[in-house]
Amino acid sequence: MPIAELLEEVRHTMRARRLSLHTERTYLDYIRRFIRYHNRRHPRSLGAAEVRAFLSYLAVEENVAAATQNVAFNALLFLYREVLHIELTDLGATDRARRPARLPVVFSPAEVAALLSHLSGPPHLMASLLYGSGLRLMECVRLRVKDVDFASGQIIVRDGEGQKDRHTLLPRTLVGPLREQLQRARQRYDEDRADHCAGVYLPPALAHKYPRAGSQWPWQWVFPSSRLAIDPRSGVSRRHHISPDALQRAVKKAIHEAGLPKTGSCHTLRHSFATHLLENHYDIRTVQELLGHKDVSTTMIYTHVLNKPGLPVRSPLDG
């Protein structure tokens, strides 16, 4: 199989596995880099030794972060396991990029309030959801109408990290603003239906099983984009959700305007959600479930950034 056909097969397999478009592009990029690094030799003629050499090159020569090297490793593992059906062994001698043991940046409640005061419209509501519900950035922008449960005061997160669903809380203070946002989204939806626009994107399996669902109200985005765009997979013109970049820029600008002395981001609001729940004495297992962490050890990092001192030690200067 020529390399061009192989890359197309990788793309087809990723879409069959329902990987995101971002993951698809990233994996293909690292697979191309792997092939170029080995002088355009076909991956089938390469093996564990060549994979180790490429990953070591990224760590030593390119000086990439540990997370970046792991993404490259996962891309090559996908290529060999899922497409070439070759099991790579003996990868333990790879030079690994070091993952720094850093604590997450966390805003205080006052800092969160200051940040939100410099936002308005959908960015204000979305940032409030990141903090009030502990959503990840993409979980927020991909929120669909049917997954906001006003009756039970919950938000259902579909296809979260690890392709798992979970429930998280819907803050009571956001019920009114969310209803107003849904009214605006409904107006845009009605206009699209009158103009015979294509329905919203659905995962291929769902689109095949429910071919009309993309044009039905429950499947629409809570935060639709203001303009139509070409779907890069199907080539169809449809309305997508708000760009995550737009929310990231708005939050960065709000942090600057609020004069906060921290380098935060959208994800900092999620960190703050977890930390403040623990400060309010909620059980760590409950916080783990709300965040969607697979392992409680991931949630445990927030116990290290609580405002309360962990040791009964007084500074000698204070004496």
Q: Which domains does the chain have, with CATH numbers?
A: 3-83 (1.10.150.130), 109-304 (1.10.443.10)
Q: Comparing 26-30, 115-119, 248-252, 304-308, which segment has the lowest mean pLDDT?
A: 304-308
228: β partners: 239
Distance of CA 123 to the CA centre of its chain: 17
Phi, psi of 16 (to 5 degrees): -65, -30
Residue 150 structure tokens: 């006003």
Q: What pLDDT is recorded for position 71?
A: 92
Evaluate whether 94 touches 55 at the Cβ level (below 8 Å). Answer: yes
Whether 96 has a pLDDT exceeding 70, the answer reads no
Evaluate whether 290 touches 168 at the Cβ level (below 8 Å). Answer: yes
Q: What pLDDT is recorded for position 18?
A: 79
Cα 179 to Cα 127: distance, rounded to the nearest angstrom: 16
3-state helix/strand/coil string of the chain: CCHHHHHHHHHHHHHHCCCCHHHHHHHHHHHHHHHHHCCCCCHHHCCHHHHHHHHHHHHHCCCCCHHHHHHHHHHHHHHHHHHCCCCCCCCCCCCCCCCCCCCCCCCCHHHHHHHHHCCCHHHHHHHHHHHHHCCCHHHHHCCEHHHEECCCCEEEECCCCCCCCEEEECCHHHHHHHHHHHHHHHHHHHHHHHCCCECCCCCHHHHHHCCCHHHCHHHCECCEEEEEEECCCCCCEEEEECCHHHHHHHHHHHHHHCCCCCCCCHHHHHHHHHHHHHHCCCCHHHHHHHHCCCCHHHHHHHHHCCCCCCCCCCCHHHC
Which of 200, 191, 195 is CA-nearest to residue 234? 200
Apex CA 34: angle with CA 31 and CA 36, to 5°? 110
Dump pLDDT digits (tens) for 169-212.
999 999 999 999 999 999 999 999 999 999 999 887 788 888 89
Q: What pLDDT is recorded for position 22?
A: 86
Residue 29 structure tokens: 């990029």
Bigger pLDDT: 108 vs 294: 108
> Model confidence at 20, in pLDDT bands (50, 70, 90)?
confident
Sign of CA dihedral 187, 189, 190, 195: positive
**Rounded mean pLDDT, 274-283:** 89
Evaluate whether 197 touches 183 at the Cβ level (below 8 Å). Answer: no
Evaluate whether 205 touches 18 at the Cβ level (below 8 Å). Answer: yes
Dump pLDDT digits (tens) for 303-316.
776 655 555 556 55
308, burial (CB in 10 Å: exposed 0-12, middle 13-18, buried 19+): exposed
Q: What pLDDT is recorded for position 141?
A: 95
Could you give the percent of the chain with pLDDT greater than 90?
A: 62
